[in-house]
Each structure stands twice: as C-alpha cells, then as structure tokens.
Structure 1
Amino acid sequence: MLRSLQGIVLRSMDYGEGNKIISLFTPELGKVSLMARGAKKVKSRHAAVTQLFTYGDFVFFKAGGQMGTLNHGEIVEAHHKLREDLYMSAYASYLVEMTDRMLGDEEGSAYLFEQLKAGLTAIESEKDMQIVVHLYEMKMFELAGYLPVTDACAACGNHMELTMFSPSLGGCLCARCRFKDNQAIAISEGTLKLLRLFTRMDIRRLGSVQVKPETKTELKICMRSYMDFHIGIQWKSRSFIEQMEEYDI
C-alpha cells in the first residue's frame, strides 16, 4: 500500500553498499522502518531526507508487517543546526532515542509526534535544552503509565509539605512519609513547582525560561533517577550528555 505521510527521522543506519534503513516517526502510523535504496550515495535523491532529525513529507510503499520502501521524500525542516552543534545534537539525539526505543512499531500518537517536533524546534531555537528534555521525559513517563505523583504524597495522599521525591514510591513524599524511602531526594519548592508543571505542559507552549542552577540540578537528579528506576534503559545519548557534563565539554 502506498502511503504519503509527514514524519521525523529517528534513526538512520547504513545497509549494504549504497542503502539506508531509517526509523520514521509519523503521527498516523507511529514508528515505521523504511528501506531507502541508494541513500548513501552523495547524489541520491534520498540522501538529504534520510538524515537524522529531518522532518519531511515521505511517500513509501508498505505491505503488511514487512519493511516499507521509501519512494520519495521532501524536506519540511532539515534541522541542520541540530546535527552541527555538539550540545544540540546530544540533547536532540536523546529525544529521538527515547521515541525510537520506547514506542513499538506502528504505535501511533499524533500528540507525541507534535511534542517531539516541538522539542527539536525548541532545542534548535536555543531554548533551555535540559528543560526541553525533562518535558519530553514526562511525555514518555505518561506514555509508559509511570507519570509521577506530584500533587500529593505518593505514599499517603497528603497534599501538604511535599519535600521529597521518591522514584521507587512513584513521586513526591510529604514530611510524614519521607522516611519510607531512605533513597528519596530532597527537593525545594521551586523544583516541586516545575515537576508539577512538567506533568501537564505542552512543549509547544514553552517560552524562554530561567531556572536557578541549584533547581536544575535537583530536577536532573529527580528525572534521571525516576527514568532509571521505572524505564531501566541504558540511553546512549544520555550517557554522552553525562560525559559532557562530567568533563565540562
């Protein structure tokens, strides 16, 4: 069946002497694997449109559960800057890696597609990359059914004095329950407010934000700990981001 859909390239890998296989994320069909014949060749009409992060219009043939074949592609947004800047490339890679590894084949989500598109645009527009990533991580938690509890204590339901964050118990803890998890992370009021905001904010509405360095550190610890506990995937792109942070690249 011949399909014509918009999509974002999540992964692009060489196959054989001149071909590429791409993982394409579309709002209607979700994640689709396509063979792009001859795309490795410099003069190929598929060379540009199959690059990582590319958002475009794709025409492809797909029958049943078989891998599709790319017939034609037109670039809507190339996202050159995301591939050329080391920091932007690392954070954008984390967004597409999460999408690629956490979604099953042909698991569609028009909303998630718009969030990914907005996230890549926000990074390229030089908005706070860490904040963009945390917002998208929340979308992934929601997709997986692990959205953290931020409006009440995850242990007792109390809405007051939420001072800790517990990945193992599923969210924030009040002062009374803080000792139920000795690995819980102390959080400030500013961090709590942002965690609550992240659970419901549309990335398309993200403007310029200024977050205190200490708040960003708390957020990073909370979100990475929660991701590791509930999702348990070794993210290649996040490991690279952590290396950049460690060596202050």
Structure 2
Amino acid sequence: MLHRVEGIVIRSMDYGEGNAIITLCTENAGKVGVLVRGAKKVKSRHAALIQLFTVGEFVFFRNNGGLGTLNAGEITKSHHPLRQDLIKAAYASYACELLDRVLHDEETGNFWFRQLTACLNALEEDKEPGIIINVYEMKILQAAGYGPELDACVVCGADKPDDQLRVSARLGGVLCRSCKHQDPPAMEITPRALKLLRVFARLDLTRLGNVDVKAETQAELKKIMRAFMDHQLGLKLKSQSFLDQLDKYNI
C-alpha cells in the first residue's frame, strides 16, 4: 500500500551498501521507519531527504506494517542552520532522540509532531536553547503521563507558600515543609524557578516567545528538569551525554 505523510526525520542510519533507514515522526501516522535505497550514493536524488531534522512529504510503499520503502519525497524545511551550529545541533539531536525513545511505533503523532516542529523552529530562531528544551521536556513528561505536580504538595495536597516548597523528582512534584521528610534528597527550589516551571506546564511550545532568564535560574531549571527526566523516564541518551560534555567544557 502506498502512503503519503508529512514527517520529520528523527533518526537516520546507514543500511547496506549505499542505503539508509530513516525514522519519521509524522503528523498523522505516528512513528514510521522507511528504507531509502541508494540514498548514500553520489548524486542520489534522495540524499537530502535522509538528513536529521529534515521536514518533508514522504511517499513510501509498505505492506502490513513494518519497514516502508521510499518512492518519492519533497523537502518542506531542511533545518540546515541547525546542522551547521554545534550547540543547536546538539539540542536538536536530543529533542529527536528523546522523542524517538518515548514515541511508540504507530502511536498517534499529531501532538508530538507539533511539539517537535515548534522545538526545532525555536532553536533555529535563536531562542534560548536551554529554555526551549526545558519546555519540550515538560511536554514529553506530561504526554507520557508523568507531568509533575507543581501547584500543591504531591503528598498531602496542601497549597503552601512558595518559599516553603521543595521539589521531589522521585515523588513527581513539590513538597511542603511538613512533608519534606517523605523525600530527604528533595531539592530546594526558588520562587522564580517554580513560577517558570508552572508556566512551562501550562504553555504549548508552539506559543513560546523570547524568554529572558538569568543564568543561575536556567541552571536551577536544568537541574530540576534533568532530575524529573532521569527519575520518571530513566532513559540513557547519547545526545544527553554529549550535551553534558558541552556543559563540562562550557561550550
């Protein structure tokens, strides 16, 4: 059966001699794998279609699920600037790998497609990459059913003053002073960081504007969101390790 989908290349790997297999996050068909024959050969008309972050219309043949075979394709947006910039490429790769690991084959992909599209566009538009990724991670957690409780104590449900709260990645939300013994390693959180996390939880990434956040608050947000991702999803991502290396050397 012939399929025509709009999709984003979230993974690309060599296959055999001169071929490639791409994984697409599609708007209406979820995540699909497509074999692109001859894509790695010189002067291949499909060479540009297999590049990571590429958005396009893909026409492929597939019988009874499984891997499709590309018939034709047309690029809608190449996102070439993301591949030219080390920092942008690192964050964009993380966004794609994270989605690839979370999204199941054939799972309805409209929400994921819109969020990834917004993420890649924002990175290309020079918005703050750390904030973009934090919002994106929040959307991933929420869609996967692990969105943190940020408006009331996750244990007792009490609504306490913000300066008395801690945040527990293990329990999945904020803790009031009376309940902090439930998770002694719970992190302190500043009112500013908590306010931003609440904004992230309510914000659709497609509506993200330019956000000016102090460096120390960005560092706090990154630490908290990383803890939530590690505890709630427990994924080991190559792209995350690379981002950690960039941080280590202050690149």
TM-score by length of structure 2 reads: 0.97
On the 8 A contact 2:154/2:175 being kept in 1, the answer is yes
Pairing partner for 1:241 from 240, 243, 246: 243
For structure 1, the 5+ residue unaligned runs are none
Higher mean alpha-carbon deviation, 113-122 vs 135-144, is at 135-144
Higher mean alpha-carbon deviation, 175-184 vs 34-43, is at 175-184
Higher mean alpha-carbon deviation, 21-30 vs 136-145, is at 136-145
2 CA distance for matches of 1:190 and 1:168?
22
Query: Match for 1:5: what amino acid?
Result: V
Number of corresponding residues: 249
Pair 1:187-2:189 in alignment: yes
1 CA distance for matches of 2:214 and 2:240?
22
1 CA distance for matches of 2:140 and 2:42?
36
Shift of 1:161: 2.2
- Give the CA RMSD over aligned residues: 1.0
Q: Which residue of 1 aligns with 2:32?
A: 32
Query: Match for 1:134: what amino acid?
Result: N
Q: Which residue of 1 aligns with 2:202?
A: 200
On the 8 A contact 2:7/2:27 being kept in 1, the answer is yes
Q: Which residue of 2 aligns with 1:213?
A: 215
Higher mean alpha-carbon deviation, 21-30 vs 153-162, is at 153-162
1 CA distance for matches of 2:197 and 2:175?
13
C-alpha deviations, 1:14-62, integer Å up to 9, x for none? 1111100000110111100000000001311110011100001111111
Secondary structure of 2:87's counterpart equals helix
Q: Following superposition of structure 1 onto structure 2, how do residues 52-63 of structure 1 map, counting pairs within 5 Å?
A: 52-63=52-63
1 CA distance for matches of 2:217 and 2:177?
20
2 CA distance for matches of 1:97 and 1:20?
17
Shift of 1:111: 1.7
Q: Following superposition of structure 1 onto structure 2, how do residues 32-181 of structure 1 map, counting pairs within 5 Å?
A: 32-162=32-162, 163-181=165-183
Query: Match for 1:173: what amino acid?
Result: L
Secondary structure of 1:134's counterpart equals helix
Shift of 1:207: 0.8
Pair 1:229-2:224 in alignment: no
Higher mean alpha-carbon deviation, 104-113 vs 51-60, is at 104-113
Higher mean alpha-carbon deviation, 88-97 vs 173-182, is at 173-182
2 CA distance for matches of 1:154 and 1:42?
57
2 CA distance for matches of 1:71 and 1:43?
17
2 CA distance for matches of 1:248 and 1:218?
16
1 CA distance for matches of 2:244 and 2:207?
27
For structure 2, the 5+ residue unaligned runs are none
1 CA distance for matches of 2:27 and 2:142?
17
On the 8 A contact 2:27/2:109 being kept in 1, the answer is yes
Secondary structure of 2:32's counterpart equals strand
Shift of 1:215: 1.1
Runs of 4+ in 1 over 6 A off after TM superposition: none
C-alpha deviations, 1:149-187, integer Å up to 9, x for none? 011110111111242110111101112212221111101
C-alpha deviations, 1:80-123, integer Å up to 9, x for none? 11111100000000100011111111112212211100100100
Query: Match for 1:182: what amino acid?
Result: P
Secondary structure of 1:240's counterpart equals helix
2 CA distance for matches of 1:9 and 1:91?
15
2 CA distance for matches of 1:178 and 1:66?
48
On the 8 A contact 1:32/1:106 being kept in 2, the answer is yes
1 CA distance for matches of 2:57 and 2:30?
14
